[in-house]
């Protein structure tokens, strides 16, 4: 099959990773292949900044310490992510929260929307189903404390909260794609970046191996490549935190259908450490 030109999807948006700390967890919480049962990995919490010279667009904003204090352990995960880390990372780019023109959430879990309070009136885009899910989490979501109650009030009080339904051509070279599965209202962003097409998938795929199960390595937060067991017969590798597996696999196919070729470079996963070290 002929490949598309490497310039397909190339556009104006420069991307910068905004580190927000990290979490230590069993690998199979993020990529459940049934293999590597004893593997523990560190993986980043991170946001992504899109800039075109006139606009600053932030994708997610990391985790705060209100639910899980720095260094705490909930019996499965250990947390090393705070609001201070997010604000410091933004500051290193020369920005403060008030410099963000648009905030887009892939979903509203605590490690992606934990710093909503710093954006009280920023134009903010969330899928309507995600907002409904945040306000009315199911029992498992409550039990796992996936949504931070401190996120709700700042969003409710934000006069510029925009709830959208489904796919949307948001602006030149940015398209929102609804991808339920991990949550009811997850969304991805297909962006024409200065390096070509990149699809920011949030936690639809926590790690590249979730999208491409033939991958046999992954990078941890420290930048170390770890060998993992591939599962090439699987169409996609879900995390244990999937609310609807039918939706998950459908969303996986929807995202992959947009790719010029089956190459991990096009997929920007919510917790992939490699983007911090290798770029996008």
- Average the pLDDT over 156-174 and give the result: 96
For residue 85, report the phi and psi dihedrals to the nearest 5 degrees.
-65, -40
Q: For 84-140, write each residue's pLDDT tens digit.
A: 999 999 999 999 999 999 999 999 999 999 999 999 999 999 999 999 999 999 998
- When mean pLDDT is compared across 32-41, 65-74, 260-269, the lowest value belongs to 65-74
Of the two residues 210 and 66, the one the predictor is more confident about is 210
52 φψ region: left (φ > 0), alpha (ψ -120 to 50), beta (else): alpha
> Which residue from 103, 61, 67 is spatially nearest to 86, judged by alpha carbons?
61
Give whole-number Cα distances, 9 to 108, 190, 203, in Å.
28, 9, 22
Q: For 254-270, write each residue's pLDDT tens digit.
A: 999 999 999 999 999 99
Q: Which two tokens stand for residue 137?
A: 């989490």
pLDDT of residue 44: 96
Contact, 3 vs 188, CB < 8 A?
no
> Which residue from 217, 190, 214, 215 is spatially nearest to 201, judged by alpha carbons?
190
- Average the pLDDT over 197-224 and give the result: 96
> Which residue from 5, 189, 186, 179 is spatially nearest to 112, judged by alpha carbons?
186
Look at residue 253 and give its three-state secondary structure: helix
Q: Which residues contact 27 (CB under 8 A, 6 or more apart)?
A: 36, 39, 40, 41, 218, 228
How many Cα neighbours within 13 Å face the side chain of 170? 27
- Looking at the DSSP bridge assignments, the partners of residue 57 are 50, 102
Percent of the chain clearing pLDDT 70 (strictly above): 97
Contact, 86 vs 18, CB < 8 A?
yes
């Amino acid at each position: 099959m002929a490949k598309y030109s490497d310039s397909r999807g190339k556009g104006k948006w420069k991307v910068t990773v905004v580190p927000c700390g990290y979490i230590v967890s069993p690998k199979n919480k993020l990529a459940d292949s049934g293999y590597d049962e004893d593997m523990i990995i560190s993986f980043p919490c991170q946001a992504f900044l899109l800039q075109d010279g006139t606009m600053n667009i932030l994708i997610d904003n990391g985790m705060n310490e209100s639910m899980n204090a720095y260094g705490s352990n909930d019996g499965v995960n250990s947390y090393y992510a705070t609001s201070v880390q997010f604000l410091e990372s933004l500051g290193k780019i020369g920005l403060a929260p008030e410099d963000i023109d648009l905030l887009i959430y892939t979903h509203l879990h605590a490690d992606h929307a934990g710093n909503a309070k710093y954006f009280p009136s920023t134009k903010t885009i969330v899928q309507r189903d995600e907002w409904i899910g945040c306000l009315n989490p199911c029992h498992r979501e409550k039990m796992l404390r996936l949504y931070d109650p401190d996120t709700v009030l700042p969003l409710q009080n934000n006069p510029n909260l925009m709830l959208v339904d489904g796919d949307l051509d948001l602006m030149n070279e940015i398209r929102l794609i609804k991808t339920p599965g991990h949550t009811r209202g997850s969304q991805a962003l297909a962006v024409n970046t200065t390096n070509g097409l990149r699809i920011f998938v949030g936690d639809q795929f926590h790690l590249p191996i979730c999208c491409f199960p033939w991958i046999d390595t992954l990078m941890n937060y420290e930048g170390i490549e770890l060998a993992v067991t591939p599962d090439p017969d699987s169409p996609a590798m879900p995390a244990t935190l999937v609310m609807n597996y039918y939706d998950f696999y459908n969303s996986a196919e929807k995202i992959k259908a947009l790719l010029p070729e089956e190459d991990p470079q096009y997929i920007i996963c919510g917790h992939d450490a490699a983007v911090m070290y290798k770029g996008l």
